[in-house]
Amino acid sequence: MNKQITLQELGLRDYQEIWDYQETLFKRIVDTKIKNRREDANLETANYFLLVEHPHVYTLGKSGDLSNLLISEKQLEEKGAKFYKVNRGGDITYHGPGQVVGYPILDLENFFTDIHKYLRFLEEMIILTLDEYGLKTERSPGETGVWLDVGTPFARKICAMGVRASRWVTMHGFALNVNADLGYFDHMIPCGIKGKAVTSLNVELGKKVIDEDELKAKLLKHFSALFESTFTLESTTI
């Protein structure tokens, strides 16, 4: 089992461009697995972890409700935002500057074959990272992601998640609000969950800006420990 993960930090990139790139990596892993099965080969399958930031965009999961987007196509254009229907789970999500977005594209057969456990590990990575900032976050029963003040009228989400998996290969991932402009969340019903707010780490800590590179290092440390994996940084041009 290959527990080595290729880390790629891609900077600010268009959502469609990175979605297409995810699909390329995803197919590469799946094709290797098919070759192994058909030809009784013993080829190692790769694992990737993409860190990226997107310009303003709203994405709707395959089981999502379009009515959870609260603005028109013209208003999207006025706000400099795009909209895509995507092939992950979950409902509607916003991505934009000030978010740390992570897309692990893993062959889970290198780690464990349990999607529920995979999602819980992603949540745990976020919870452990935010604990280093003195912020107590937790899971909300039946609602994937990471939250504050669950079970109170002040419940608010700080990290959204949505994944796709086929043949135990994952794509899509998480979006953690670090220095996010929360005004963009007013134009949707986040994840289709009414009556619950969204927050960002800088807001919770009362700071103007959080060092995102420092936060990424903490995320990767906890991911590596949870998945018993190691990272190799690789520069790439898409």
In this structure, are residues 188 and 197 in contact, taking their beta carbons and an 8 Å threshold? no
Active site residue 159: no
What are the boundaries of each domain within the chain? 54-98+111-229
Q: Is 161 annotated as a binding residue?
A: yes
Report whether 158 belongs to an annotated binding site.
no
Determine the Cα–Cα distance for residues 93 and 173; give it in Å rounded to an integer.
12
| Cα–Cα distance measured from residue 53 to residue 61, given in angstroms and rounded to the nearest whole number | 19
Contact criterion met (CB below 8 Å) for 158 and 123: no
Determine whether the annotation assigns residue 58 to a binding site: no
Given 10, 69, 191, 210, which residue is catalytic?
A: 191
Alpha carbon of residue 215 to chain centroid: 15
What is the residue-level pLDDT of the chain in tens, covering all 238 positions?
Answer: 899 999 999 999 999 999 999 999 999 999 999 999 999 999 999 999 999 999 999 998 888 888 999 999 899 999 999 998 988 877 888 999 999 999 999 999 999 999 999 999 999 999 999 999 999 999 999 888 999 999 999 999 999 998 999 999 999 999 999 999 999 998 988 766 666 799 999 999 999 999 999 999 999 999 999 999 999 999 887 8
Which CATH number does the domain 54-98+111-229 belong to among 3.40.50.300, 3.40.640.10, 2.40.110.10, 3.30.930.10? 3.30.930.10
The distance in angstroms from the start CA to the end CA of the chain is: 27
DSSP state of 84: E
